[in-house]
A and B are shown apart, each in its own frame.
Chain A
Amino acid sequence: MSLLEIKDLHARVDGNEILKGVNLALDSGEVHSIMGPNGSGKSTLAQVLARRETYEITAGQVLFAGKDLLALKPEEAACEGLFLAFQYPVEIPGISNAYFLRSAVNAIRKYRGEDEVDAIDFLPKLRERLKLLDMDEKLLNRSVNEAFSGGEKKRNEILQMAVLEPRLAILDETDSGLDIDALKVVAQGVNAMRSPDRAILVVTHYQRLLDYIVPDYVHVLVDGRIVRSGGPELALQLEEQGYAALESAAASSGSAA
């Protein structure tokens, strides 16, 4: 059984159908990448999987570790081990990063029937993860993402992933807005999280990130459907040829269907 199994997923927002029948399966230990042009539905797919309620599911099924993911609330999905690194991390004034992280860890531990950790026990682990991401400890005392630079925000997402240790991590355009040094640090953080017990789904427009996080599989999403799947070489091919050829192919197959 796959860790994540998406079957014929249709979703719409404000009456516009964005996902038009997505099929995808991920196993633990694998890294998949979803690539696609702007507006193809990449971020919608990521948000739907994280259970954002603004999207209406019109058809299809998603199984996550055998559970009906679409029946779960966002917090339940998170507690089951799903993590979304946001394309646009949200600023939350008034809540410190350290407190936020520990609240999240404890919410998940509680869900699983484990004891909560206190601040003292939590700190060493947090420090270790910070080091991995070359992050300043001062960021822990600042409000969540408030006045963080673009790079700090993205690193903060990966820090959360590293602390929450999900079974499935979805990275939504984590490379956007990063310079090459920040990109390397983020990729290093993600690579350190690769494990036989974990799957990673990298959503990106550009191939560049995949130089550093080399996926096992690449899928191309065009107009709400996966139109091609392959190995890492598919990403390189897209980088050279662009999405145009696949888009026109998708348009003709769409009209034929």
Chain B
Amino acid sequence: MRAQVATATQPLAHYAESFRGLQGSATTAPWFLRKLRQDGFVRFSDRGFPTLRDEDWRFTNVAAIAQTPFRLVPNGGRLPAPSDLAAYRIAEAAGEWVFIDGRFAPSLGSVRDLPKGVEVGSLANEIENNPGAIEPHLGRYLNIERDPFSALNTAFIDDGAYIHIPRGTVLRSPIHLLFISTAHNAPSVHHPRNLIVVGETSQATIIEQYVSLGRGEKVLCNTATELSVGDHSVVSHYMIEREEEGAFNISTLRIQQGRTADVASHSLLAGGALVRNNVHPVLAGEGGECLINGLFLGRHRQHLDNYMLVEHASPHCASRQFYNGILDGHAHGVFHGRIIVHKQAQKTDAKQTNRNLLLSDTAQIDTKPQLEIYADDVKCTHGATIGQIDEDALFYLRSRGIAEASARRLLLFAFASECLERMRAGPAQAYVENLIQQALGYVGEASRIQNHQESVP
């Protein structure tokens, strides 16, 4: 009934139809999954899509998503050729695990260097073959009450990545999850759902990369990842959005951190038409540390929204948010950094910094800190800057012989590379650096890698 009420105001009927199709066809799905989906769909139907009146969505209008009759991508489409993916592979990664419109496509990936006991594969397979490993985690962390897209994702849980890293395991090479949105001749949606469980005292780097193949009708990728990090583990997570400039991408990373766990979330938003990246760590164990490090590069009419919700739920935890944005053309960037310090989270140390460069008069940034502090012995700081290219620095470089266009790119790259400094050196960092250079039109010019090699022994 509720779904029908929502239909009156928003064209949600096709979601209801897709939902009935999914729940009806997959009668083999275990009860906990059917229940999760049902709760998700009810919640989504109650809420409908958010509007600008919703505090969490004040700066991001999703009418274009709400008004498009997206259909689930049908099963069994033609797979792309492996050569189509060559440009997106990361040679030094532990391997590629490829997802076509949210579905695991093992034939397109490869496994090169994975320690014993580490599982990387399909969530759907794991639910079917080992539901006992999934049930304690899936849907336990993601907040479907607050975010309609998370509710929608949960309603359509079908496939995505499942990673399990047992306790005491150190992964030297990053795990690369490659999510490919393919072109269709009708508006299509897919809802990848990822579950990453890292045991105690382990170490891993996980890259989620979102790309497009081909151009067709509108595509919405509504993805959600639950990342559970055990006590004393060290995890870096990368979100790389580089879909084509007509794509819609909504992503949520929900991190659950154990005691003294050290987690870094790095994001690079460079593609997509309307992109929203939610990062929601909960520092649940004492002494945890969380770094949320983001860079967004917008041009033309791109809309790139970074929404952070950092919850300090235990004492002696530290969180750092650093976001840099470079916006050109009519691009619109959003930084929404919310920090909640719960009553018991004494000695919290939370810091938030958002720096933006606007390269045109028509580019726009909305930056909003939001601190909610219920403990009394905490340190919370926030700051935001909005500026243009520093003309003095530009003149300084030019006065040394560096041509204006190169000098501009050098300054932009220097600004963007602040986020690289906060990543561990390694293949993921090198890959992101390369993408930044491409995005800034830097291809073929000297790179920061050389910059580093120049260090004096």
Q: Which residues of A contact B (CB under 8 A)?
A: 50-53, 73-75, 77-79, 83-84, 86, 89-96, 98-100, 102-104, 107-108, 111, 119, 123, 127, 137-138, 140-141, 143, 160, 164
Question: Is B455 located at the chain interface by the 8 A CB criterion?
Answer: yes
**Are B418 and A95 in contact, CB atoms less than 8 angstroms apart?**
no
Chain A, residue nearest B396 (CB)? A90
CB distance from A251 to the nearest CB of B (A): 33
Q: Which residues of B contact A (CB under 8 A)?
A: 390, 392-393, 395-404, 406-407, 410-411, 413-415, 417-418, 446, 448, 450-456
Task: Provide 11 A-B residue pairs closer than 8 Å at the C-beta atoms, listed in order of the A residue.
Answer: A74-B395, A74-B399, A86-B396, A92-B393, A93-B414, A93-B418, A94-B415, A96-B454, A99-B454, A111-B401, A164-B401
A140 to B396, CA, bound (A): 17
Chain A, residue nearest B420 (CB)? A94
Q: Which of B392, B400, B417 contacts A107 (CB 8 A)?
A: B400
CB distance from B432 to the nearest CB of A (A): 15
**Are A103 and B410 in contact, CB atoms less than 8 angstroms apart?**
yes
Q: Classify the secondary structure of A's interface with B.
A: helix
**Are B414 and A107 in contact, CB atoms less than 8 angstroms apart?**
no
Q: Which of A75, A99, A140 contacts B401 (CB 8 A)?
A: A75
Number of A-B pairs, beta carbon distance below 8 Å: 100
**Are B456 and A73 in contact, CB atoms less than 8 angstroms apart?**
no
A10 to B318, CA, bound (A): 58
A61 to B105, CA, bound (A): 70
CB distance from B92 to the nearest CB of A (A): 23
**Are B451 and A107 in contact, CB atoms less than 8 angstroms apart?**
no
A86 to B406, CA, bound (A): 21
Other than A90-B390, A90-B393, A127-B456, give 14 A-B pairs with Cβ distance below 8 A. Answer: A74-B395, A83-B399, A89-B396, A90-B396, A91-B393, A92-B396, A94-B415, A96-B452, A100-B400, A103-B400, A119-B454, A123-B454, A140-B455, A141-B456
Chain B, residue nearest A144 (CB)? B396
Closest 10 pairs (CB-CB, A-B): A94-B414, A104-B400, A78-B401, A74-B398, A90-B396, A107-B401, A99-B451, A108-B401, A98-B454, A75-B398
Q: Classify the secondary structure of B's interface with A.
A: helix
Known: A119-B453, A141-B456. A79 touches B401 (CB 8 A): yes
CB distance from B446 to the nearest CB of A (A): 7
Chain A, residue nearest B451 (CB)? A99
**Are A92 and B414 in contact, CB atoms less than 8 angstroms apart?**
yes
A186 to B402, CA, bound (A): 25
CB distance from A79 to the nearest CB of B (A): 5
**Are A75 and B404 in contact, CB atoms less than 8 angstroms apart?**
yes
Q: Which residues of B contact A50 (CB under 8 A)?
A: 399
CB distance from A42 to the nearest CB of B (A): 17
**Are B411 and A92 in contact, CB atoms less than 8 angstroms apart?**
yes
Q: Which residues of A contact B399 (CB under 8 A)?
A: 50-51, 74-75, 77-78, 83-84, 86
Q: Which residues of A contact B451 (CB under 8 A)?
A: 95-96, 98-99
A108 to B400, CA, bound (A): 8
**Are A107 and B410 in contact, CB atoms less than 8 angstroms apart?**
no
A52 to B396, CA, bound (A): 10
